[in-house]
Amino acid sequence: MSITVGVDEVGRGAWAGPVVAAAVLLLNKVEGLKDSKKLSRSQRQYLSDIIKNNAIIGYGWIEAKEVDDIGLTAAVGRAIRLAVTQIKVPFDEIIIDGNFNYLIDDKRSRVVVRADSTVSEVSAASIVAKVARDNFMIKESIKFPEYQFDKHVGYGTALHAELLKLHGPSSIHRLSFKPLRGLYGLKNFLTAA
């Protein structure tokens, strides 16, 4: 039986905060795994705790400024590479959710569309990455209460857009993202940055 490392990332489309990738090698079977987007926040937190007790996990964090500096595709690739390098035990294959292989130079890697719904290790990676990023953004809402990150965790919601119009971007906003550039009232903030 082959030993699989599942990889997924979260935060790709967010306007603020990091891109986070997780690589997961399950040591034991975990029941109830599925794509993190199909779970409630409390279900994700519950499963994340179980996964952490039954897996080897690597994380890759790329902060907003670095996303702006190197671009989203490179940032996702860097996060995935960082996550996989933290798996320090032998394994046979790497399955990455999606249709682009960020680890093309590693012969063990392959991509599977919707692997976060069909491959347990990738579902687990989807869950732990989402919980880690969401928890980070909730903590950031204490530092930046005016953006209410605890409500939208940095994604492009109507509330987030309104708060950006009122306050301009914070130090954890991705200034290179078109939605931020296009919001009324942000042009002056972006050209000054």
Asked if the structure places residue 58 within a domain, the reply is: yes
Q: What is the dihedral of CA 83, 72, 41, 171, to 10 degrees?
A: 100
Asked if the structure places residue 132 within a domain, the reply is: yes
Asked if the structure places residue 77 within a domain, the reply is: yes
Whether residue 24 has pLDDT greater than 80: yes
| Tally of domains in the chain | 1
Whether residue 189 has pLDDT greater than 50: no
Q: Per residue in 123-142, pLDDT tens?
A: 999 999 999 999 999 999 99
Query: Could you identify the residue written with the tokens 């093309």?
Result: 104
Asked if the structure places residue 65 within a domain, the reply is: yes
Total-model pTM: 0.92
Exposure pattern of 6-39 as b/e (b: 16+ CB <10 Å)? bbbbbbeebbbbbbbbbbbbbeeebeebbbbeeb
Q: What is residue 191's predicted lDDT score, i.e. its pLDDT? A: 46
Asked if the structure places residue 161 within a domain, the reply is: no
Asked if the structure places residue 154 within a domain, the reply is: no
Q: Per residue in 59-69, pLDDT tens?
A: 999 999 999 99
Strand pairing of 109-112 and 19-26?
A: unpaired
Can you tell me the distance from the alpha carbon of 91 to that of 26, in angstroms, rounded to the nearest whole number?
Answer: 11
Residue 57: give its domain's CATH number.
3.30.420.10
Can you tell me the distance from the alpha carbon of 140 to that of 129, in angstroms, rounded to the nearest whole number?
Answer: 17
Token digits of residue 57: 């996990």
Chain centroid, CA 86 distance in Å: 16
Whether residue 187 has pLDDT greater than 70: no
Q: What is residue 190's predicted lDDT score, i.e. its pLDDT? A: 46
Q: What is residue 183's predicted lDDT score, i.e. its pLDDT? A: 64
Q: Please state, rounded to an integer, the average pLDDT across all residues of the chain.
A: 93
Asked if the structure places residue 156 within a domain, the reply is: no
- Alpha helices by DSSP H, listed for the chain, are 41-52, 64-70, 72-85, 115-118, 120-143, 149-152, 158-167, 178-182, 187-192
What is the extent of the structural domain holding 105?
Answer: 4-141
The arithmetic mean of pLDDT across residues 61-86, rounded, is 97
Asked if the structure places residue 97 within a domain, the reply is: yes
Cβ(28)–Cβ(118) under 8 Å?
Answer: no
